[in-house]
């Protein structure tokens, strides 16, 4: 099946802090998935969506990857996959991220989906961004059972968490839904879990207008939600940590677990 050059995804994200006290919140999100080899084509899909320039909704290539106009997204992504010993043989690379809305956007995480020449999903890059302008990439092969992947934490993402322990990424994907769970685990157990579940919608002007009417500040909304929740944690007495210098290595290889993820079968059934 040929995937669209780009599509929208709508759903919710939920965050639950489990230690030293429990606190949960959720909010609606809107995401964009784009084939990084067909960006020029994607820019012509809707008059309200642009690639590389401003619009109601836009995608800026320099917001991800090398963050440089001189390094193509595919060149950057293939280099990250190669560090993990993964070759795509020219297969498609699709990027699921948070686009800019009215010129502004922030992507806490961008998901790079690497496909083989046969179209099968082979590997993933979880590109994590913090509000300090830093980024780190966690790269992993995906086995047929879509088992979770584990990696040591390397990026400071919140003043309320140390850069210790590991992440456990659980990705489930079908034509009908994409779901991601990121667990933050230390020696004394799980401290935090973040998840998102989104369903696709055709990238079209009508969908964009409906999006902006129902979620008018979605571009600023992600950043606002981050700082609002940080304030709530501080008021509840969560310990504050100063930001350390970013570590020199910017790519970490994640290792798939040997046990399959049970819910993957259910997600496939729903497709």
What would the pLDDT profile of 123-160 be if each residue is shown by its tens digit? 999 999 998 889 999 999 987 667 899 999 999 786 66
pLDDT tens for residues 60-117? 999 999 998 899 999 999 999 999 999 999 999 999 999 999 998 889 999 999 999 9
Phi, psi of 47 (to 5 degrees): -70, -15
Residues 78, 123: Cα–Cα separation, whole Å? 11
Contact 68, 79 (CB under 8 A): no
Say yes or no to pLDDT of 222 above 90: no
Mean pLDDT of the chain: 86
* C-beta separation of 151 from 138 below 8 A: yes
In the chain, beta strands by DSSP E: 6-17, 23-35, 49-51, 57-59, 93-97, 100-101, 109-115, 121-129, 135-141, 149-152, 166-173, 178-186, 189-202, 251-253, 255-256
pLDDT at 131: 83
pLDDT tens digits along 15-41? 888 766 677 778 899 999 999 999 999
pLDDT given at position 237: 60
Write the secondary structure of 26-71 as one string of H (helix), E (strand) and C (coil).
EEEEEEEEEECCCHHHHCCCCCCEEECCCCCEEECHHHCCCCCCCC
**The pLDDT value given to residue 135:** 94
Q: What's the confidence (pLDDT) of residue 160?
A: 62
Quote the Cα angle for 184-9-260, to 5°. Answer: 45
pTM score of the predicted model = 0.87
- Return the percentage of the chain with pLDDT > 90, whole number: 61
């Amino acid at each position: 099946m040929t995937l669209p050059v780009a599509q929208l995804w709508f759903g919710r994200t939920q965050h639950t802090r489990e230690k030293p006290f429990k606190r949960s919140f959720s909010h609606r999100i809107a995401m964009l998935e784009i084939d990084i080899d067909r960006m020029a084509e994607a820019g012509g899909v809707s008059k309200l969506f642009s690639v590389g320039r401003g619009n109601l909704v836009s995608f800026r290539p320099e917001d991800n990857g090398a963050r440089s106009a001189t390094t193509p997204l595919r060149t950057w992504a293939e280099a990250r996959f190669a560090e993990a010993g993964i070759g795509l043989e020219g297969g498609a690379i699709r990027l699921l991220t948070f686009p800019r809305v009215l010129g502004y956007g922030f992507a806490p995480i961008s998901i790079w989906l690497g496909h083989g020449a046969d179209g099968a999903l082979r590997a993933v890059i979880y590109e994590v961004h913090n509000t300090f302008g830093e980024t780190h990439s966690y790269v992993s092969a995906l086995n047929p059972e879509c088992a979770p992947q584990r990696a040591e934490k390397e990026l400071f993402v919140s003043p309320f968490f140390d850069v210790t322990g590991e992440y456990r990424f659980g990705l489930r994907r079908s034509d009908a839904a994409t779901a991601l769970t990121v667990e933050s685990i230390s020696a004394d157990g799980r401290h935090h879990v973040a998840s998102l579940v989104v369903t696709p919608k055709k990238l079209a002007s009508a969908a964009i207008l409906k999006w902006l009417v129902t979620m008018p500040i979605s571009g600023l909304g992600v950043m606002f939600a981050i700082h609002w929740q940080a304030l709530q944690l501080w008021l509840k007495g969560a310990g504050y940590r100063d930001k350390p210098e970013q570590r020199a290595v910017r790519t970490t290889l994640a290792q798939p677990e040997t046990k399959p993820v049970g819910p993957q079968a259910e997600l496939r059934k729903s497709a």
